[in-house]
């Protein structure tokens, strides 16, 4: 404890000792957990987060510029959802010459000019077989809805839709992304990052209908002209058997008799992409019922590398991770007696300084490594020397942040949560000296009065004593 340095220190320490125990300290809270090891090729861009909390679980080259290929279609869907709500999914869309804008030798849903499909069909055609023709059709008709101009040419409509895509990217804070088309065919000015793709995917998966689409393995539809189309999801983590799927590769003969080596029952979506420049790309999601994860791997060398990496990340995270609550928001996280607190603070009862979090604080913790929590006091408000605490400022108000609850992994802070004072505390000051002086004066007066009273009573009894002896 710091020694007193002024003539009043002895008095103050005596008074403080009379009112409370000095320097009460609560040690750090400790929690055990185990850690997941992620393994991705060093030249891949990777980002993985807890889809429920938004907590980053892993990142590698997450902000490097990459080409998105057909994962672009997640942004196409997100923009379209601003103009097509669930009640309109079964409205019919007539296909015109916009399909002629579809790039040659690209993945197709095989939509025909002069035919018609519902918005529901178009979304499936966009996301399952990764139809670039479906992307052009969606972009054209959404732009015409947005402008209110049904006569808008297909090329102008697509350009307007692309403007909306970039506007949406800005709204989402995706500063590393820029789009020049709705399908993802390569263009040097069409780029993104792994982090941005996860941000876009997380937003689009807020829609229940789209969330069901991206985990669908097969969809069949009949056009207005009676044509029947069969579409299979290009995400092989979802497929138990190989199908005639195209997304830069042909994966099977289409008879469904071959077992898919990449199937993972924990996967719930979402979108593949592939061009020579982009490499193999996959935005993926998974859930075990209690934890949901969302991630992106961009610029992978081939599917034989990509799918096992993603499957291992899904399986490891969902089998070994859990949500852990560090504070319930109501219980005391730490409390401390303050050296040199005001008399009023000490007389108010309970620990001098109590801190709590503002609501429940939790995070996703991994496996094989140990986590610790510790309270870190703001040194501009509270100083600590050994077990003793002292206010640096004249007072701390209820609700004021005075510390942080730090979560440490291997000695490194991985999360920090603010802690707030639950009551107002005041440092010892001049007014307390007056109070103490008055208290001592009053006590002295009481003692003097008591002594004088005893002396008077003694004198009053002395004559009676003499009479008794005579």
For residues 117-145, b (16+ Cβ closer than 10 Å) or e, as one string? bbbbbbbbbbbbbbbbbbbbbbbbbbbbb
In a domain, 363, yes or no: yes
- Is residue 302 classed exposed, middle or buried when 0-12, 13-18 and 19+ CB atoms within 10 A define those classes? exposed
For residues 319-357, b (16+ Cβ closer than 10 Å) or e, as one string? ebbeeeebbeeeeebbbbbbbbbbbebbeeeebbbbbbb
Active site residue 39: no
- Chosen domain end from 320, 336, 364: 320
pLDDT attached to residue 267: 98
- 340 pLDDT band, cuts 50/70/90, is low
- Chosen domain end from 276, 302, 320: 320
Q: Is the predicted pLDDT of residue 432 greater than 60, yes or no?
A: no
pLDDT attached to residue 346: 59
- Is residue 163 classed exposed, middle or buried when 0-12, 13-18 and 19+ CB atoms within 10 A define those classes? middle
Q: Answer yes or no: pTM beyond 0.75.
A: yes
In a domain, 372, yes or no: yes
Choose the weakest-confidence range: 159-163, 193-197, 202-206, 345-349: 345-349
Residues 27 and 146 in one domain: no
Tokens of 103: 């790039």
Residues 142 and 159 in one domain: yes
Q: Is the predicted pLDDT of residue 20 greater than 70, yes or no?
A: no
Q: Is the predicted pLDDT of residue 351 greater than 70, yes or no?
A: no
In a domain, 110, yes or no: yes
Active site residue 337: no
pLDDT attached to residue 96: 97
Residues 128 and 253 in one domain: yes
From the list 12, 45, 73, 311, the catalytic residue is 73
| 72-131 tens-digit pLDDT | 999 999 999 999 999 999 999 999 999 999 999 899 999 999 999 999 999 999 999 999
Q: Which residues on adjacent β-strands are paired with residue 371?
A: 31, 409
Residues 309 and 335 in one domain: no
From the list 130, 274, 285, 327, the catalytic residue is 130
Asked whether 50 and 365 are in contact (CB, 8 A), the reply is no
Other Cβ atoms within 10 Å of 236 Cβ, number? 27
For the chain, how many structural domains are there in total?
Answer: 3
Percentages helix, strand, coil for the chain (3-state, rounded to 5) are 35, 25, 40
Give φ, ψ of 6 to 5 degrees: -130, 170
Q: Rounded to whole angstroms, what are the CA distances from 332 to 22, 122, 336, 384, 416?
A: 19, 54, 11, 19, 17
Q: Is the predicted pLDDT of residue 26 greater than 50, yes or no?
A: no
Residues 291 and 329 in one domain: no
Q: What's the rounded mean pLDDT across residues 346-375?
A: 81
Tell how far CA 289 is from the center of its chain.
Answer: 18
Instruction: Tell me how far apart the alpha carbons of residues 173 and 450 are, in angstroms, rounded to a whole number.
Output: 77
Q: What's the rounded mean pLDDT across residues 356-375?
A: 86
- 214 pLDDT band, cuts 50/70/90, is very high
Residues 134 and 279 in one domain: yes
Average pLDDT across the chain, whole number: 84
Q: Which CATH number is 282's domain given?
A: 3.40.710.10
- Is residue 451 classed exposed, middle or buried when 0-12, 13-18 and 19+ CB atoms within 10 A define those classes? exposed
Residues 333 and 412 in one domain: yes
Q: What's the rounded mean pLDDT across residues 218-230?
A: 95
Q: What's the rounded mean pLDDT across residues 340-352?
A: 59
Residues 102 and 124 in one domain: yes
Residues 401 and 450 in one domain: no
From the list 12, 45, 70, 337, the catalytic residue is 70
Active site residue 70: yes
Q: Is the predicted pLDDT of residue 233 greater than 90, yes or no?
A: yes
- 5 pLDDT band, cuts 50/70/90, is very low
Range of the domain at 175: 45-320
pLDDT attached to residue 451: 76
| 297-315 tens-digit pLDDT | 999 999 999 999 999 999 9
Residues 170 and 211 in one domain: yes
In a domain, 316, yes or no: yes
- Chosen domain end from 320, 353, 376: 320
In a domain, 1, yes or no: no
Residues 113 and 185 in one domain: yes
Please, what is the Cα angle at 329 between 324 and 333, to 5 degrees? Answer: 85
| 263-290 tens-digit pLDDT | 999 999 999 999 999 999 999 999 999 9
Choose the weakest-confidence range: 46-60, 61-75, 303-317, 345-359: 345-359
Residues 71 and 122 in one domain: yes
């Amino acid at each position: 404890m710091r020694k007193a340095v002024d003539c009043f220190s002895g008095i103050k320490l005596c008074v403080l000792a009379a009112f409370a125990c000095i320097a009460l300290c609560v040690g750090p809270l400790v929690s055990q957990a185990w850690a997941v090891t992620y393994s991705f090729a060093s030249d891949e861009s990777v980002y993985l987060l807890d889809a429920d909390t938004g907590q980053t679980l892993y990142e590698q080259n997450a902000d490097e510029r990459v080409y998105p290929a057909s994962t672009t279609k997640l942004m196409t869907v997100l923009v379209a959802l601003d103009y097509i709500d669930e009640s309109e999914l079964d409205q019919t869309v007539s296909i015109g010459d916009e399909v002629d804008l579809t790039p040659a030798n690209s993945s197709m849903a095989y939509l025909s000019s002069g035919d018609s499909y519902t918005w529901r069909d178009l979304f499936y055609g966009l996301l399952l077989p990764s139809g670039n023709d479906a992307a052009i059709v969606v972009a054209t008709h959404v732009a015409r809805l947005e402008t209110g101009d049904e006569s808008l040419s297909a090329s102008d409509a697509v350009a307007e839709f692309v403007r909306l895509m970039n506007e949406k990217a800005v709204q989402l804070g995706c500063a590393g992304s820029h789009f020049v088309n709705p399908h993802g065919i390569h263009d040097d000015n069409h780029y993104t990052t792994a982090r941005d793709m996860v941000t876009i995917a997380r937003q689009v998966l807020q829609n229940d209908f789209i969330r069901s689409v991206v985990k669908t393995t097969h969809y069949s539809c009949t056009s207005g002209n009676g044509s029947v189309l069969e579409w299979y999801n290009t995400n092989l983590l979802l497929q138990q058997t190989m199908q005639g799927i195209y997304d830069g590769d042909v994966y099977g003969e289409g008879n469904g008799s071959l077992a898919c080596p990449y199937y993972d029952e924990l996967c719930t979506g979402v979108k593949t992409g592939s061009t020579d420049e982009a490499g193999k790309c996959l935005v993926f999601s998974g859930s075990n019922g209690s934890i949901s994860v969302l991630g992106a791997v961009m610029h992978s060398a081939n599917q034989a590398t990509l799918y096992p990496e993603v499957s291992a990340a899904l399986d490891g995270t969902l089998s070994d991770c859990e949500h852990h609550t560090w504070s319930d928001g109501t219980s005391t996280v730490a409390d401390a007696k303050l050296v040199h607190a005001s008399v009023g603070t000490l007389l108010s009862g309970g620990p001098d300084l109590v801190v709590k979090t503002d609501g429940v604080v939790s995070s996703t913790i991994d496996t094989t490594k140990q986590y610790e929590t510790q309270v870190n006091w703001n040194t501009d408000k509270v100083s600590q020397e050994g077990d003793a605490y002292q206010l640096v400022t004249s007072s701390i108000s209820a609700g004021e942040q005075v510390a942080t609850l730090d979560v440490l992994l291997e000695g490194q802070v991985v999360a920090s949560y603010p802690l707030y004072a639950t009551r107002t505390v005041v440092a010892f000051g001049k007014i307390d000296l007056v109070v103490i002086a008055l208290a001592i004066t009053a006590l002295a007066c009481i003692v003097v009065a008591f002594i004088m009273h005893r002396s008077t009573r003694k004198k009053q009894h002395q004559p009676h004593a003499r009479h008794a002896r005579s």
